[in-house]
Structure 1
């Protein structure tokens, strides 16, 4: 761990304030590492004109490129470490001597970013799923930043995925990274929200108003919704016999957006399945998605029942492992993923959607749920 080109005196104060700067740029003794040192050595005359007639410059372009790739790979790892420790792109850009936008464009490994999480490429067929403190409702129409929400969400998700793995349910979860992030297999997500319901609530009651709120259903309901915020995630019906995909009004909010005469459960429209965005969804795939959804819900439901909780419903997403092609339960499963009650007390994000709880109260619920999932067996 050394740097011969510069000295302590030539470094800005913020650099010298970083841990290890006294070793890299000063005279402090280096620590004892157990792994072998990683070094790059490449010598050229400072005046490149001296290479004329001695060596073809392409020789050094070729030789140097391998070192550049090696350095870039280490830079990627270092930036990933910095991000995992919570360092901002502004800080990373300052370390590089560029703007945060340039740093992000050059070194960001972001695969996707949503309202509440960021997914970064971690290499080796894996990603890092990093939660945000953002909390939203109404397809993003309602939005707040809830300090500590990311940590609670990640803690809950990690515990739930570990529970599912113990039940033999394949998931993308690999291991935790820190309080707000976990490693997972990189998957090609299927743009469907898969819902299981044990009790009548939410959009289900919008479509079946004759049911009492909280009425236990005769059998576990399985429903499939399109991931489409702009149209409030329509309910889907796959008619494989006729080769037709049908979309239905999912809830009262979507009905109001369509028009005064629209009602939850009304047919929005239909199209040829083979010409839709779901042309690759087959009866076999849908059956497998149903099994994953139902088995996941039942495992989580049982875990909550052991603690006196009632799991009302939940939604999950699935995808195919980008390397192996295996179908996996993916995304996150936290307090935002389903309705959970202890007696008459709602412990999910529903109280935020309804405005029935203050932000501190919502935060407390997220944290209490996360702590309870530590007890999952």
Structure 2
């Protein structure tokens, strides 16, 4: 039993076993401890490097010992001596900033070519962007160090931008590095593509269009999310007859896609880039559609004044991994740093 007064434990950075022992004394469940940074008691300021601070009775005045938790984790430092606080996801206390220890979130919910999604409890998930790139349905594949963080930072900022303009998303906050914290939703098996210029599969199926010609108005397409079938284009009737959406939901989804396009196109045009097209995924909720997944160089095609791609098309056309990662970092720099940081 811990003393009722403040208990100070010295734990050296990197001493994972000591972290696990300490968590066990508190009745906490720890998942894959990775690295110790600092420690913080909620509301009591930063501890000294390599120390833990904890007060029996919980944080924020909650009575009694803490119940078992789902996740305990933190993120890399934003500067020397100033790390992000960790987060406690607890069934009694909810989400509370606590001490700084990097821990992996809970069970794996989904893993794709570009991301891993892990359970964070309480209807939330951690979306972790991979340091890898694939093209042509996986026929070209390479490690891409740094791509995950650039894609996560850009997605976080784009979600913030959309929400600033009234578009609901699953985004909660940026965790630092290659991770964002999001709401969990059941995602519709659809990809929504909005095209501003004739490009890619649109030109292949309609050869009368000149490549890179500006369309008279944005075009919204629906595709079935199915890699084995090549994500086929769907007619509105296909979607309704299959029971995926109603006609009114189709109208709402189209309006949402055009609103997203207006926000993104204006944002990138002011930064000297043309938004050729983009892809989003959505979840259906009682309050309407929510934009989910990511908004990054993997899902947008952006071209500068010289016609240079700053997106995955660069890699598809034979560009190097290094060129791709630098393009993604340039997009992240142009977009600006995420403003909604977890734990603040």
Settle same-fold status: TM greater than 0.5: yes
What's the counterpart of residue 27 of structure 2?
none
Paired residue secondary structure (2:215)? strand
Q: CA deviation at 1:24?
A: 6.7
Q: CA deviation at 1:229?
A: 0.5
1:136 aligns with 2:134: yes
1:314 to 261, 278, 303: 278
More strand by share: 2
What's the counterpart of residue 303 of structure 2?
341
Q: Distance in 2 between matches of 1:114 and 1:132?
A: 9
1:2, 1:24 within 8 Å by CA — same for their partners in 2?
Answer: no
Paired residue secondary structure (2:67)? helix
Q: CA deviation at 1:108?
A: 3.7
Q: CA deviation at 1:166?
A: 0.7
Paired residue secondary structure (2:133)? strand
What's the counterpart of residue 324 of structure 2?
362
Q: CA deviation at 1:183?
A: 1.0
CA RMSD of aligned residues (A): 3.4
1:197 aligns with 2:198: no
Q: Distance in 2 between matches of 1:17 and 1:77?
A: 18
Matches within 5 A, 1:101-140: 108-140=106-138
Give a deviation string over 1:233-258, Cα, whole Å, max 9, x none.
Answer: 1100122xxxxx28xxxxxxxxxxxx
> How many pairs does the alignment contain?
274
Q: Distance in 2 between matches of 1:158 and 1:118?
A: 16
Q: Distance in 2 between matches of 1:22 and 1:194?
A: 45
Give the TM-score taking structure 2 as reference length.
0.71
More helix by share: 1
Q: Distance in 1 between matches of 2:310 and 2:39?
A: 48
Structure 2 residue runs without a partner (length 5+) = 4-11, 23-37, 44-53, 59-64, 77-104, 340-344
Q: Distance in 1 between matches of 2:20 and 2:299?
A: 47
2:55 to 37, 49, 64: 37
Q: CA deviation at 1:296?
A: 0.6
Q: Distance in 2 between matches of 1:22 and 1:128?
A: 22
Q: CA deviation at 1:31?
A: 7.5
1:303, 1:376 within 8 Å by CA — same for their partners in 2?
Answer: no
What's the counterpart of residue 55 of structure 1?
none
Give a deviation string over 1:100-153, Cα, whole Å, max 9, x none.
Answer: xxxxxxx84222111111111212221111111121111222211100000000
What's the counterpart of residue 102 of structure 1?
none
Paired residue secondary structure (1:347)? coil
Give a deviation string over 1:194-244, Cα, whole Å, max 9, x none.
Answer: 0111100011000111111100111111101011101111100122xxxxx
Q: Distance in 1 between matches of 2:304 and 2:14?
A: 49
If you compute each CA radius of gyration, which structure gives the higher value, 1 or 2?
A: 1
Q: Distance in 2 between matches of 1:359 and 1:188?
A: 33
2:273, 2:303 within 8 Å by CA — same for their partners in 1?
Answer: yes
What's the counterpart of residue 293 of structure 1?
257
1:227 to 225, 228, 233: 225
